[in-house]
């Protein structure tokens, strides 16, 4: 992953550093630390909001699809293991990606979709065993893969997500 991609995965406020070797008074250091604390708190609050929205969307989708035949065509109920894996997977996506559309598929697995237009979409299916099946259309580029989720997202999936964000 490039340095640019890594900085997008872990976004945060970009604040100037206070130089302590150029005559900064103790009072100015205290003020600067307070400013940094407020900026970090505002950033954390915004990111926590995205995470709460994701969790709520997942819970709502799970509830809507928790009964057998929820779609009227014989669909399996949403799978609890898939929901747990999905929560874990969602927590590793960059918050700048926002909240995806979350659905449960007829086989009980979860589906995530970030849609930015007909030529800019990322779709991820999360299985009950942690398997990720994903596809992205990023203008003329297609990214397709199947991998088991370990402790982080597969590199190709992170790169596709970041490209989706970059393209707006």
Written as six digits, the tokens of 141 are 């580029």
- pTM of whole model > 0.95? no
Q: What are the structural domain ranges in the chain?
A: 24-166
pLDDT interval class at 135 (50, 70, 90) = very high
pLDDT interval class at 13 (50, 70, 90) = very low
pLDDT interval class at 14 (50, 70, 90) = very low
Q: Left if phi > 0, otherwise alpha if psi is -120 to 50, otherwise beta: which for 69?
A: left
For residue 136, report the phi and psi dihedrals to the nearest 5 degrees.
-135, 140
For residue 15, report the phi and psi dihedrals to the nearest 5 degrees.
-110, 145
pLDDT interval class at 137 (50, 70, 90) = very high
pLDDT of 32 strictly over 70? no
| Alpha-carbon span 165 to 97, nearest angstrom | 6
């Amino acid at each position: 992953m490039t340095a640019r991609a890594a900085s997008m995965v872990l976004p945060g406020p970009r604040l100037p550093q206070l130089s302590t070797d150029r005559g900064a008074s103790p009072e100015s250091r205290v003020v600067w630390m307070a400013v940094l604390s407020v900026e970090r708190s505002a950033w954390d609050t915004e990111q926590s909001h995205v995470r709460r929205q994701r969790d709520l969307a997942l819970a709502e989708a799970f509830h809507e699809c928790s009964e057998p035949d929820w779609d009227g065509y014989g669909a399996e109920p949403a799978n609890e293991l898939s929901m747990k894996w999905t929560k874990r997977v969602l927590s590793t996506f960059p918050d700048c990606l926002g909240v995806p559309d979350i659905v449960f598929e007829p086989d009980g697995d979860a589906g995530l979709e970030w849609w930015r237009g007909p030529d800019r979409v990322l779709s991820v299916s999360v299985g009950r065993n942690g398997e990720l099946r994903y596809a992205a259309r990023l203008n003329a580029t297609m990214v397709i893969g199947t991998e088991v989720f370990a402790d982080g997202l597969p590199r190709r999936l992170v790169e596709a997500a970041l490209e989706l964000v970059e393209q707006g």
